Amino acid sequence: MTVLAYIIIAGPLAGTVTAAGGARGRHAGWAGAAGASVTLAAAVWLLVAQLHRAPVRGLAGYLYVDSLSCFFLLTVSAVTLLAAVGSIGYLSAEEAAGRLTRFQVRLYFIFFGLFAALMLGSLETGNLGLLFVLIEASTLASAALVGLEGKASSLEAAWKYVIISSLGVTIALAGTLFLFYSASALHLAPDLRLTWPFLFAHAHALAPASLRLAFLLAVVGYGTKVGLAPMHTWLPDAHAEAPSPASAMLSAALLNTGMYAIIRFLAIAKAGLGPEFPRVVLLVFGFLSVIIGVLFMVRRGNFKRLFAYSSVEHMGIIAVALGFGGVLGLYGALLHTLNHAIAKAVLFLSSGDIVQRSGTREAAGVRGLLAVVPVTGGALLLGSFAVLGSPPFGLFLSELTIVRAGFAGASPALPLLLLLLLAVAFIAFARTTTGMATGEPASRLAASGRASPYQGRAASLTAVAPVTVGLAALLVLGLWIPAGLTTVITHSISVLR
Amino acid sequence: MPGADTTSLSATSIAGVLLDLAGVVILLLAFACLGSKLFNRYVAYYGAQSVVLSFAAGVAAYAFGRTELWILAAATLMIKGIAIPVAARRLLIRRLDLKRDAALSTGLSTSLIAGGGLTAFAYLVTRPQLLPHGLVAAAVVPLSTAVILLGALAMVVRRHTVAQLIGWLIVENGVFLGAITLVATFPFIVEAGIFLDIVAGVLIMLVFVSGLTRQLASASASELRELQG
């Protein structure tokens, strides 16, 4: 079992090592994809093997994998595989078009693998200090991806991303310190004081004043990484400027890693302070994010920014669901995490293909995708309806669960507000994406869009395959949730009740 | 043994007094940085702050008698006190010919008053009475919280990328000061990891700032208007 945990982290590094060893970008891409599939297989195996057993522990508490970790490992490694496959085609097309040099492509694969491995590592540690170290390191690795293109706008986005996220994560470190302070009355072995299972078991004995401060600082700090408003300002720029597969990783993997950190703090806070204080904090940040995300989705413009604001909205929904609480709310929160991750990966990966073919990131410059490239246009349409929560896709099910959890609570005003916001989001988002997919093809797209920007059959396949597989998975999750998944989610949320 | 150590570092022992004193000096240096307008001074105050921080780490190392803490104190002195200020001076300030910071969003007196307010707020939320009993050098906790808030304020008030970088480093120093009070019980691997992150962070930020400056005439974040919303 411990070996599986190490394999999960080592998998994505295959691409890093190959690229650092001087291989060509394409080979590094295939190595990364192979590594990512090993990681996904190991994550599924670990999830199944761990289902009815005690958490995996090792390295004096630094390694700790329970059901919650397994669930997030599954989500992140699935996204990593989709993005790693998508990277092969996207990067080779960028290189062929002369937009990126061979050196930049190699840098991309080096940092892509590092980024994925650091995120997976942060999901496997039980030490909250090490959690900070790994999340901050993953920020730095992904900042390199955001600034990869080296244009003024991407450097600006990378700067904004790295400075805001570093400040945020540093605030989370201050929160971790206060958690440490709150445990100082316990007089126990020092290396245990930052260990999550230990803190969770002794949550009732923690000093409440510093625990409250610790939770608040952790939500603000890691919330910066999650993209909770008002700390979300880095997110649209970074998502719009990063190469599309890297945007998929940011939106579908990085944000969830931040949410995982918040959930770890939430579990301790709920056990130590009672449910009321964490509930209010999460509902405030959650609703603020949904509102901000929806409002900015109304503006038409860069479609990658549109997807990014949709991520702010969905992270808000997950925070609201955690705030609603109860079995339904928590179950919905985790299910929504997985569904949103896959849907957003599909959308960003198809946006990569659109950027390649139309040469623009402005929604107004793209029309008639369905006529020119039916697969991408269809994926864009289906993906956006999926992300907006239409049946029969998985997000419909998870959003329904969350709203039901809201109505089970004290006041029906909050779930009603959520429904209203979801409706506005639907109109704003679908207006833009249906406009892109239908209509007369825009001139540039009609002229050159049909020609494949990818070199060779294998590369064009890597642009289509992850999108199709992702959509199929969303469809399956909307119709049937595997028993193992239900069990792992139920086990995961048991720490939050 | 942590139990024995915590009693040896009460607020009245010499080590406790020195730690408190170092905390006060670090806070004053954060104020000095907030009240300055010259890039040279930003870096100088940051460097001085880091030297005092390494002194504080040395005091803790002496009081607790642990070798890892001496390593940490030495690393703080070498990297934060010397290497980062020298690199910032050579690679940023001299090469980009930065002198006077014009990109302030409020006047200096306003930001100093705001800083005073934040310090009072820090004391209000983390005063020693609120913290659990038996905490080592509890008086340092509000000081370190205040330094964190002042660094964040400097990042908000200043729009120049180099000034924001210094602001983040001050925030980091504040967190580190808080960690030192507990350092006897804080796992060394974590401390070392935090240190590595800061070094890597500074390196990657240096790359971005110099890349940005090459592309824009001046790397003032207020001029980054292309990306909005």
Question: B164 in a domain, yes or no?
Answer: yes
Q: Lowest-confidence range among A25-29, A380-384, B45-49, B144-148?
A: A25-29
CA-nearest residue of chain B to A212?
A: B125
Nearest Cα residue to A128 out of A286, A262, A292, A36: A262
pLDDT at B224 over 60: no
pTM score: 0.91
Share of residues in chain A with pLDDT > 90 (%)? 55
- What tens digit of pLDDT does each residue of A212-266 get? 999 999 999 999 999 998 899 999 999 999 999 999 999 999 999 999 999 999 9
> Are B135 and A184 an interchain contact pair (Cβ–Cβ within 8 Å)?
yes
> Are B226 and A152 an interchain contact pair (Cβ–Cβ within 8 Å)?
yes
pLDDT confidence bin for A184, thresholds 50/70/90: confident
What's residue B4's pLDDT? 41
Question: B11 in a domain, yes or no?
Answer: yes
pLDDT confidence bin for A189, thresholds 50/70/90: low
What's residue A447's pLDDT? 67
CB-facing half-sphere around the CA of B201: CA atoms within 13 A: 29
pLDDT at A452 over 70: yes
Tell me, what's the ipTM?
Answer: 0.85
B133 vs A159, A163, A185: nearest CB: A185
Question: B89 in a domain, yes or no?
Answer: yes
Distance from CA of A372 to the nearest CA of B (A): 30
State mean pLDDT over A387-396.
90
Question: B59 in a domain, yes or no?
Answer: yes
Instruction: Report DSSP letters for B48-109, one per residue.
Output: HHHHHHHHHHHHHHHHHT-HHHHHHHHHIIIIIIIIHHHHIIIIIIITTT--B---BSS-HH
pLDDT confidence bin for B7, thresholds 50/70/90: very low
State mean pLDDT over A376-398.
91
What's residue A188's pLDDT? 60
Cα separation of B1 and A91, whole Å? Answer: 55
What's residue B16's pLDDT? 80
CA-nearest residue of chain B to A151?
A: B215
Question: B179 in a domain, yes or no?
Answer: yes
- What tens digit of pLDDT does each residue of A337-356 get? 999 999 999 999 999 888 88
What's residue A228's pLDDT? 92
Contacts of B215 in chain A (CB under 8 A): 151-152, 155
Range of the structural domain that residue B213 is part of: 2-222
- Work out the mean pLDDT of chain A and round it to a whole number: 89
What's residue B8's pLDDT? 45
State mean pLDDT over A262-288.
93
State mean pLDDT over A367-390.
88
Kindly state whether A407 is in contact with chain B, defined as any CB-CB distance less than 8 angstroms. Answer: no
Question: B122 in a domain, yes or no?
Answer: yes
Distance from CA of A158 to the nearest CA of B (A): 8
Distance from CA of B4 to the nearest CA of A (A): 11
Kindly state whether A215 is in contact with chain B, defined as any CB-CB distance less than 8 angstroms. Answer: no
Domain count, chain B: 1
What's residue B32's pLDDT? 94
What's residue B1's pLDDT? 34
Question: B66 in a domain, yes or no?
Answer: yes
Tokens of A262: 């918040």
Instruction: Report DSSP letters for A223-238, one per residue.
Output: HHHHT-TTS-THHHHH
Q: Lowest-confidence range among A385-394, B20-29, B180-189?
A: B180-189
Chain B, residues 180-199, CB within 8 A of chain A, namely 182, 184-187, 189-190, 193-194, 196-197
What's residue B184's pLDDT? 58
Question: B87 in a domain, yes or no?
Answer: yes
Chain A, residues 228-267, CB within 8 A of chain B, namely 236-237, 240-241
What's residue B185's pLDDT? 63
Kindly state whether B125 is in contact with chain A, defined as any CB-CB distance less than 8 angstroms. Answer: yes
> Are B132 and A185 an interchain contact pair (Cβ–Cβ within 8 Å)?
yes
Q: Lowest-confidence range among A195-204, B108-117, B167-176, B187-196?
A: B187-196
Query: What is the distance of C-alpha A345 from the center of its chain?
Result: 9
